[in-house]
């Protein structure tokens, strides 16, 4: 079976000191929230990501996909890391095998509303970062979130 290569990008979009998280201590900073998307009838929480389009760089793909899937706009700060995996997909009578590389960028939210996510996802919500790490379905994405947390806390 032939293996086709796919390149995707996505992001960890965050906001500091959101109103839903009280300061950690008097005079201290509040917490950090990240936006997650729900797929598979709302049963799976994950990071926003999608396939690169022709002529598009990975950072541009990340920005576009995050905006489409979350309804949020963000400023890219830095590449976090990438994950890679194989998967198979049945199309008509043929099963295709793919090797996928997904690049994730750290993005600070600059505007938008999670209610404006597109129809590709079932839901989009803000979560405190530690809750998001627990909630995300895929182990590789948990590691991306942990790295993002360390970068934010710097």
Q: What is the DSSP annotation of the chain?
A: --EEEEEEEEEEEEEES-TTS--SSTTS---EEEEEEEETTTTEEE--EEEPPTT--HHHHHHHHHHHHHSEEEEEEEEEEEEEEEEEEEETTEEEEEEEEEEEEEEEEEEE-GGG--TTSSEEEEEEHHHHHHH-S-HHHHHHHHHHHHHHH-
pTM for this prediction:
0.89
In the chain, what are the domain boundaries? 3-153
pLDDT at 89: 85
The answer, yes or no, to whether residue 20 has pLDDT greater than 80, is no
**What is the architecture of the domain spanning 3-153?**
Alpha-Beta Complex (3.90)
pLDDT tens for 41-80 read 999 999 999 999 999 999 999 999 999 999 999 999 999 9
Tell me what percent of the residues of the chain surpass a pLDDT of 90.
Answer: 81
Average pLDDT over residues 14-32: 63
């Amino acid at each position: 079976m032939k293996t086709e290569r796919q390149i995707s990008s996505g992001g960890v979009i965050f906001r500091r000191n959101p109103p839903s998280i009280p300061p950690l201590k008097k005079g201290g900073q509040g917490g950090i929230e990240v936006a997650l998307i729900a797929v598979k009838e709302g049963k799976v929480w994950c990071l926003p990501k999608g396939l690169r389009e022709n002529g598009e760089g990975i950072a541009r793909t990340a920005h576009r996909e995050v905006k489409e899937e979350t309804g949020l706009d963000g400023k890219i700060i830095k590449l976090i890391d990438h994950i890679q995996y194989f998967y198979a997909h049945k199309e008509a009578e043929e099963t295709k095998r793919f090797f996928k590389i997904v690049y994730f960028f750290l993005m600070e939210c600059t505007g938008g509303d999670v209610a404006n996510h597109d129809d590709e996802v079932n839901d989009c919500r803000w979560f405190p970062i530690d809750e998001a790490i627990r909630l995300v379905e895929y182990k590789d994405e948990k590691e991306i979130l942990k790295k993002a947390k360390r970068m934010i806390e710097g």
